[in-house]
Amino acid sequence: MNVRSFGMMALGVLAAAGCQKKTFTPPENRPPETFVAVRSPLTDTVSARVGLAWYGNDPDGEVVGFHYIWLFGDSVVVDTAFTTATTDTFVLPVFDSVRTYTFRIWAVDNEGAWDPTPAEVSFPMVNTPPEVSFAFQSLPPETTLPAVTFFFEAHDVDGDTTITDLLYRLDTDTVWTSVPYASHYTLTGIPPGSRTVWFRVADFTGAVSDSIAFSWVVEPLAGTLLVILDHVDNRDAWVGLVENAGWGPGSYTVWEFPRHESRNVQDFPEIRESFEAILFSGFTRVFWASDEYDPALTSLELFTYPDAQGRRLFDELLNQGGTILLSGQSALQDMATDFVQSRLGVDPYDTTRVVANRSVLAFYGAIQRESGAPSGLPDSLTMSPGVTILTQPDGFLSGAYTPLYRAHFLINGQDSVLTAAIQRDNLILFTFELAKTNGLGNAPQVLQVLLP
Ligand SMILES: [Ca+2]
Ligand SMILES: [Ca+2]
């Protein structure tokens, strides 16, 4: 090898070195860092419910999610695989004694690396007793029958679903009675007299709320006639009608439908429980009365629409041979149509025609007994003193019923005579208020004949 060739070779080596690919060594992935913050107000101890927020930073990539666990000492209380959320509220099992729980969380980056130094926060947690109150404007009247439905609002800072029991005690009870918690409860068979009832609620640990109390007067059920007053303005007129028909005090019972101001009619499924307990306490006759013109305000629909579950009660009473007499201008419109047709035999055409023409119907003058009506009924009724016209009654042309009374209506200014009281089997409908048609003093006789 000469110098030249060595030189060439050296050049070749240098050239080769210059062309050699440099090996790429990426920087090692750097793990993310995790932070956690408490959103709930913190005191010495917290309730079972705690709100937390967290986030993570990754210096050379991005955080794609988190793993977290809840620990009590060394044992895992809540374990999760993975979450992309950055906030949550947790409800942990709490007890009467303080337990310290630890929340530990790891951010995970886009290369799957966990934060080697997870964030954590610890809480001393203790159970808090629940609280209960009567639902807004839900209290029963000062005087009731021996079955009453109460409505509650109960809360527990450890979670409302942790409330498990309702406890109640009447002043005549020596011990508390516990039932599964619901937002209403119906007491039945309450001893008559001046009563006080106390309620409390308990959570799943047995922690109980303070008690709430209600004091009222419970009247006994009496007789076999139940008078339902459904939005009645002139209570004295209706009760007077009943008493003048021969039912003395203590021989009948009045049940006043809760007025809408105090309870929404949608609560009927609950109210029904107390009504049912009362209705099937030996009553064989029901007199439903209303002097409200607006069927949206009265509640007969709840006893006649199948989905309100109240029809079952009327059906059962009728099927047992009980008699129901309905009297009021809103009665026909407030009832379910199929109930009117099947139970009263009213023609569907009549129902729709009457409703359609309702605004042009005016009812006036004397009311006369129909020829086929029971002969014991008064031959004619007339308006009570001071009542000159009933504005919105209903009238029928014909149907599979026994006509009881016909009356003069003004239809588009024309005098027309239509049937205004009908009977089919043991269901009777007066589309006007008997309490307002006692001008001759003989309206009580109607009750004597039809509700013997
Ligand atoms: Ca990273
Ligand atoms: Ca609690």
> Could you give the CA distance from residue 140 to residue 143 in angstroms, rounded to a whole number?
8
E strand or H helix at 326: strand 323-327
Strands 212-218 and 177-180: unpaired
* Alpha-carbon distances, residue 397 vs 114, 348, 349, 359, 417 (angstroms): 85, 11, 9, 18, 9
The pocket of ion ligand 1, defined by CB under 5 A, consists of: 29-30, 58, 60-61, 109
Please report the pLDDT score of residue 15 as a whole number: 42
Of 111, 81, 76, 112, the closest CA to residue 92 belongs to 76
Percent of the chain with pLDDT over 70: 84
Instruction: Give mean pLDDT, residues 24-52.
Output: 79
Which amino acid is residue 232, in one-letter code? V
The CA 208 to ligand 2 mean position distance, Å, reads 8
Q: Helix 337-344 to helix 348-356 angle, to the nearest 10 degrees?
A: 130
> Could you give the CA distance from residue 151 to residue 148 in angstroms, rounded to a whole number?
10
Return the bridge partners of 199, or none.
168, 212
Instruction: Give mean pLDDT, residues 312-333.
Output: 92
Q: Which domains does the chain have, with CATH numbers?
A: 33-125 (2.60.40.10), 131-218 (2.60.40.10), 225-450 (3.40.50.880)
| Digit-coded pLDDT (tens) for 236-261 | 999 999 999 999 988 999 998 866 54
The CA 127 to ligand 2 mean position distance, Å, reads 5
Please report the pLDDT score of residue 18 as a whole number: 46
Q: For residue 91, which ligand has an atom nearest its CA?
A: 2
Q: Is the pTM of this model over 0.85?
A: no
Q: For residue 208, which ligand has an atom nearest its CA?
A: 2
| Digit-coded pLDDT (tens) for 180-223 | 999 999 999 999 999 999 999 999 888 999 999 999 999 999 99
C-alpha count within 13 angstroms, C-beta hemisphere, residue 435: 24
The CA 41 to ligand 2 mean position distance, Å, reads 17
Reading the block at residue 448, the tokens are 């004597």
Supply the DSSP symbol for 398: -
Q: For residue 26, which ligand has an atom nearest its CA?
A: 1
| Digit-coded pLDDT (tens) for 98-112 | 888 999 999 999 999
Please report the pLDDT score of residue 304 as a whole number: 87
At CA 257, angle to CA 242 and CA 269, rounded to 5? 140
- Measured in Å, how far apart are the chain's first and last C-alpha atoms? 144
Please report the pLDDT score of residue 8 as a whole number: 41
443 has pLDDT over 80: yes
Burial class (CB in 10 A: 0-12, 13-18, 19+), 10: exposed
Q: For residue 204, which ligand has an atom nearest its CA?
A: 2
| Digit-coded pLDDT (tens) for 345-387 | 987 666 655 555 555 556 666 799 999 999 899 999 988 888 7
The CA 124 to ligand 2 mean position distance, Å, reads 15
Mean confidence (pLDDT) of the chain: 85
The CA 134 to ligand 2 mean position distance, Å, reads 19
Residue 275, Cβ neighbours under 10 Å: how many?
A: 23
| Digit-coded pLDDT (tens) for 273-314 | 888 899 999 999 999 999 887 777 788 888 888 776 788 899
Helix residue spans in 20-160 (DSSP H): none
Please report the pLDDT score of residue 42 as a whole number: 59
E strand or H helix at 17: helix 3-19
The CA 182 to ligand 2 mean position distance, Å, reads 16
Please report the pLDDT score of residue 349 as a whole number: 65
Residue pair 354/394 in contact by the 8 Å Cβ criterion = yes
* Alpha-carbon distances, residue 377 vs 164, 186, 252, 327, 441 (angstroms): 57, 40, 22, 16, 13
Distance of CA 189 to the CA centre of its chain: 23
Q: For residue 114, which ligand has an atom nearest its CA?
A: 1
Return the bridge partners of 49, or none.
91
